[in-house]
A = this chain, B = another copy of it.
């Protein structure tokens, strides 16, 4: 695999082009990674957050299924490859400075995005117990836009 194969993206030009132009020039960090937010096509909920390197982004674009870079395992990771809960990409967006991606996706298989079995990885919210403003706890709650975890 050549360098060209894994980085088919535009060179980053001036700020105006990056922010307002049509060139897709994602900014990978010092570790070669870009942040990727995945939301559910139907509910709009945030399902998971992970990172992509150039190869996983290229695979995502080429196959229509979300691929990430597993930092813990240091390998390309096709999400749901073992569980069947693949993420079929509906749309890929990028932000103003192109250092983050928003993936709108449909979860195949059992419709479960989290390895814990929850629909979304974000199944807990932060609460401050009454009378104890210094103690923060997490509470398991339903997703905000109608679907339960």
Q: Is A121 an interface residue (CB 8 A)?
A: yes
A37 contacts which chain B residues (CB < 8 A)? Answer: 37, 46, 49
Copies of this chain in its oligomeric complex: 2
Which residues between 61 and 105 of chain A lie within 8 Å of chain B, taking CB atoms? 61, 91-96, 100, 102, 104
Report A21-55 residues with CB < 8 Å from chain B CB. 21-24, 35, 37, 39, 43-46, 48-49
Docked pose: A96 CA to B122 CA in angstroms: 7
Q: Complex: how many Å from CA A49 to CA B34?
A: 12
- Beyond A115-B96, A116-B20, A145-B44, is A8–B136 a contact (Cβ under 8 Å)? yes
- Flag whether A144 is at the interface (Cβ < 8 A): yes
- Contact residues in B for A44 (Cβ distance below 8 Å): 39, 43-45, 144-145
When chains A and B are docked, how far (Å) is the Cα of A91 from the Cα of B125?
7
CB distance B92 to A126 under 8 Å? Answer: yes
Q: Does A125 lie within 8 Å of B49, measured CB to CB? A: no
Distance, CA A9 to CA B128, complexed state (A) = 12
